[in-house]
Structure 1
Amino acid sequence: MPPSTPPSLRQRRLGAELRKLREQSDLTATAAAERLGLKQTQISGIETGRYAVSADRVRTIAHTYNCLDMELVEALAAMTGGRTRGWWDEYRDYLPVGLIDLAELEHHATALRVALPLHIPALLQTADHARAMLRDAVPPFRPYELEHRLSYRIKRQEVLHRDGGLAYTALIHEAALRMQYGGSDVTRAQLLHILGLSERDNVTVRVIPFTSRGFPGSGQPFDYAIGPVPQLDTVQLDTQHGGCVFLDSETYLSQYGILLDRMESCALDPSATRKFIERLARTL
């Protein structure tokens, strides 16, 4: 039976990848169902993430679709088993579904690369800085809404501190570092917090200074979540109304990967970045 709750981002992505494999094999959903001994509605349910599918079923489907990329097949098989509950499910009744999907994406990523022109990345924010930012929301959050958003944001940061630590690279424009959310004391503490995190082996912070000769892209913040194989990478964009858009087409992945590389070429190296942030913190 279909799950009682909407499929997660991970379930939807698994279904979408299986659909891509079917289309690459030039099979219609009806023809695929006949070969697999399923109903056409079951194929549709699997491809939309509404029906859970086992790892062995994924391998059978991939074989039927003549997929020879075993690394991809095994990565897809690892995504099965229905919707695994994570800490983010505690917030499902309080936050937009896009934020729930974002936490799940970060949890399962093998690495993250983020670029922000005007804000400190959420995974690097102190609670005081995050609270000051959330208070600027339009329309304003009610007190309990703000606290839910704040605790969710801090909880997301656990991916940087788990065993091994998620490999995390943040490209931050100087403008974001100079925004004094909460005042100078909060900003100084925020800068020192970034310095501390940048000393971790899994965290790389690089600043794009005002003196850079270029700033590729439109200035829109985005996250690039690296999957177990390149085909399972995902780009996440913020929207003006506070939602999330997830992109996974080959074209978008290539475009944003190139954009990140170009932005890195304009950024200070990690050592120069730490010296830059230290100097800025002393001015506050």
Structure 2
Amino acid sequence: MRTSPTGRQLRLGVELRKLRELAGLTATQAGQLLGVKQNQISNTEAGRIGVSAERVRTLAYHYKCGDPALVQALSDMTTDRRRGWWEQYRELLPRPLLDLAELEHHARSLCASTTARVPGLLQTREYALEVFRQAVTALSPPDIEQRLSFRIKRQAILYREDNPTPYEAIVHEAALRMKVGGATVTRRQLQHLLDMSDRDHITLRAITFDVGAYPGSGQSIYYAYGPVPALDTVQLDQSHGVGFLDAETELRKYRMLFERINAVALSPEQTRDLVHKLIHEL
């Protein structure tokens, strides 16, 4: 039995529980349908024990799930049991950071909206180093180095030769103008944004001060698109750490929020012009 299931294993269990509850079945009733004890259903839903693709399809049949795309996506979640690169950090970094890397690795596409910092996947090493140095809770040099190397490794999904992850960043002008690490570091960071936005799978858009207040302006939001909408995930930076949302009502809320954010953002071409202007002002 697993003592520390990953975020992906937990999510699979959560989705199976949602299907069971939609079917109006208790864990005991579900176990009777499959000829297993109630605690096996409960442990599966808690991610404590693994489940095969065949068992997922059997559960979906008994739960009368009429969404074949969702059933297939859930079945696919059972097949990749390789240990990801992030596992080497399991005893070194908070578990939510590992779950974030796992989420990014499997995401169909990603969208980030930030107001005070350049998104982590687009940060240069120098910029990220300064961000970690300014953490509210002071980090030791070894802790900073671990977090820095972890962040850089997360960025690998944008550099894959085959199927790099589509990525959209919506960055407020305040984050672009903030001199994190001084003028030189900021200039290199802005140039890096331009270089990354040249890639076909990366879209960079800015929101200017002229827009004023807009929906979602008070927080950084990260939206990971799954193989089907029901498996999307929202990640928020919270005062107590990294938080994840996957309830359908929350997903609908943040999809709508991103639509409204996109409506006030500059086009990619206008954003590049703004970034060039900011570089020349430094």
Band of TM-score, shorter chain: over 0.9
The alignment's TM-score, normalised by the length of structure 2, stands at 0.97
Residue 175, structure 1, aligned to residue 177, structure 2:
no
**What is aligned with 2:199?**
200
Once the 2 structures are TM-superposed, how far is the Cα of residue 164 of structure 1 from its aligned partner?
Answer: 1.9
User: Is residue 2:221 matched to residue 1:222?
Assistant: yes
Counterpart of 2:131? Answer: 133
- Equivalences for residues 82-97 of structure 1 within 5 A: 83-97=81-95
> In angstroms, what is the RMSD of aligned CA positions?
1.1
Shift of 1:244: 1.1
5+ residue gaps, structure 1, are none
Aligned partner of 2:252 in structure 1 is: 254
Alpha-carbon shift at residue 12 of structure 1 (Å):
0.6
Question: 1:82 Cα shift?
Answer: 7.3
1:25 maps to what in 2? Answer: 23
Q: Aligned-pair distance for 1:139?
A: 2.1
Cα distance in 2 for partners of 1:29, 1:8 equals: 22
Tell me, in whole angstroms, the C-alpha distance in 1 between the residues paired with 2:145 and 2:138: 12
Task: Evaluate the alpha carbon distance shift between residue 155 and residue 263 of structure 1 in structure 2; reply closer, same or farther with a 3 A threshold.
Answer: same
Amino acid at match of 1:103: A
> Structure 2: 5+ residue runs without aligned partners?
none
Per the TM alignment, residue 215 of structure 1 is displaced from its structure 2 partner at its CA by 1.8
- C-alpha deviation, 1:206, in angstroms: 0.3
Once residues 81 and 164 of structure 2 are traced to their aligned partners in structure 1, the CA distance between those partners, rounded to angstroms, is 23
Q: CA deviation at 1:9?
A: 0.6
Instruction: Kindly state the Cα deviation for residue 135 of structure 1 after the two structures are TM-superposed.
Output: 0.4
Kept after mapping to 2: 8 A contact 1:52/1:81 = no
CA distance in 2, matches of 1:111, 1:53: 26
For each residue in 1:235-267, what CA deviation from the matched residue of structure 2 results, as whole angstroms up to 9, or x when unmatched?
A: 0011123x2111001110011111111011111
Where does structure 1 differ by over 2 angstroms across 4 or more consecutive aligned residues? 81-84
Cross-structure match for 2:185? 186
What is the count of residue pairs matched by the alignment?
281
**1:44 aligned partner, one-letter code:** S
| Separation in 1, partners of 2:136, 2:243 | 20
Q: Name the SS of the counterpart of 1:281 in structure 2.
A: helix
The 2-side partners of 1:178 and 1:238 are apart by 21
Listed one character per residue, the Cα deviations across residues 131-170 of structure 1 (whole Å, up to 9, x for unaligned) are 0111001221101000000000011000111122101011
Q: Given that residues 197 and 203 in structure 1 are in contact (C-alpha distance below 8 angstroms), is that contact kept between their aligned partners in structure 2?
A: yes
Q: 2:115·2:217 contact (CA, 8 Å) conserved in 1? A: no
What's the TM-score once normalised by structure 1's chain length? 0.97
Counterpart of 2:254, as a letter, is Y
What residue number does 1:35 align with?
Answer: 33
The AA in structure 1 aligned to 2:165 is L
Provide the residue aligned with 2:70 in structure 1. 72
Q: Please state whether the residue corresponding to 1:42 is helix, strand or coil.
A: helix
* SS in structure 2 of the partner of residue 35 of structure 1: helix
